[in-house]
Amino acid sequence: MISLDPLEQRFLAHVRGGAEFPRAWCAQGRVDSDIGLSIYANAYSARLCEALESDHPVLAAYLGDALWAEFCSGYIGAHPSRVRSLRHFGAQVPSWLAQQKSFADYPAIAELAAFERALLDVFDSADGGRGDWSELQSLDPAAWPGLRLKFHPSVRLLPTTTNAVEIWRALKDTQSPPAAGASSVPARLLWRDRERISRFRPVEADELVALRSLLSEQRNFADSCEQLAVTRAADEVPALALGFLRQWLDEGIISQLDIASDGAPAPR
């Protein structure tokens, strides 16, 4: 008698990729067991392809039917799902694309995928507070150097070397995409706004320096000003940094202004 574990193993191997499932293990019902097994095998790949397409509609349009099918079967074979929700099945899509010879020669493809995944993350990442300008104004200026920022959990900083976002935008508007090329800006910032609408915008070189320091490396305000001073004249830096802070607070991408973490809290 066939016990449960080998039956499941063989059945799943068959469903995933055609390994043989012994026909003698199937009862002959009204539907032939070959047809029954193929219904499961077809549903397996169809469901996973569908999940990838719902996460990456623009990538699918960009690749076209044949390449998209090649991508789906390659990815599904390389990364069988180990997650409980299909929401996360495609988590490795950008890195996988970046490593595959046939796709890696066109880096816009992996960047397009990374952009779509960032949008997904922005959509359902954790909620958080929204700091505002008046809070910053109420801080004692003496405390500013030690200021650290807690960004809203939805914020994603995405470096861009190609024009993947321009390609995304054109295809989203059902226009023909521009030829693949270099990015006009070094990064994009994505976040979910106060009305829960996903937003993104370009990030220029100076702001990227400030974001790397304050967001990615979680350094304090003084450190980020020092970073800015590497490429900017020292007397330009305070206004520049303050301008970024103002913009971020207005956009609602800062959850919290934290001045206590460098030691004694500054007097207010």
Partner 1 sequence: MIECVDSARASTPEARASGVRPWHGYGLGLRTEHFDAVLNEKPDVDWFEIISENFMVAGGKPRHYLDEIRARYPLAMHGVSLSIGSTDPLDLDYLHELKQLARQVEPIWISDHLCWTGNGGINSHDLLPLPYTEEAIAHVVSRIGEVQDFLGREILIENVSTYVSFANAEMEEAAFLSEIARRSGCRILLDVNNIYVSSRNHGFDADAYVAVLPAEKIWQIHLAGHSDYGDYVIDTHDHPVRDEVWALYARTLERIGQVTTMIERDDHIPALAELVAELDHARRIGESVLQPARAACA
Could you give the strand order of the β-sheet that contains 198-203, starting from the edge strand earlier in sequence? Answer: 156-159, 187-192, 198-203
Burial 93-132 (b: 16+ CB within 10 A, else e): bbebbeebeebeebbbbbbbbbbbbbbbbbeeeeebebbe
Size of the site for partner 1 (CB under 8 A): 50
From 9-17, 61-69, 176-184, 236-244, span contacting partner 1 (CB under 8 A): 9-17
Q: In angstroms, give the least distance from the CB of 193 to partner 1.
A: 11
Kindly tell me the burial class for residue 70, based on how many C-beta atoms sit within 10 Å of its own C-beta (0-12, 13-18, 19 or more). Answer: middle
Q: Whose Cβ is closer to partner 1: residue 128's or residue 131's?
A: 128
CB of 23 to partner 1, least distance (A): 9
27 binds partner 1 (CB under 8 A): yes
- Sole binder of partner 1 in the list 18, 19, 39, 231 (CB under 8 A): 39
Helix (H/G/I), strand (E/B), else coil: 258: strand
DSSP H/E element including 192: strand 187-192
Question: What is the spatial distance between Cα 136 and Cα 138, in angstroms, rounded to a whole number?
Answer: 5
Binding mask of the shown chain, residues 108 to 137, with x at each position contacting partner 1 by CB under 8 A: --------------xxxxxxx---------
What DSSP character marks residue 181?
Answer: -
Work out which of 44, 71, 144, 191 binds partner 1, going by CB under 8 A: 44
Q: Which CB atom, from 196 or from 246, has the smaller least distance to partner 1?
A: 196
Which one of residues 61, 67, 69, 86 is an interface residue with partner 1 (CB under 8 A)? 86
Token pair in block for residue 54: 């719902």
48 forms part of the interface with partner 1 (CB under 8 A): yes
- CA–CA dist 55, 90 (Å, integer): 8
Residues that bind partner 1 in the complex, under the rule CB under 8 A: 1-5, 7-9, 11-12, 15-16, 24-27, 29-31, 33, 35-37, 39-40, 43-44, 47-48, 51, 80-87, 89, 122-128, 153-154, 192, 196
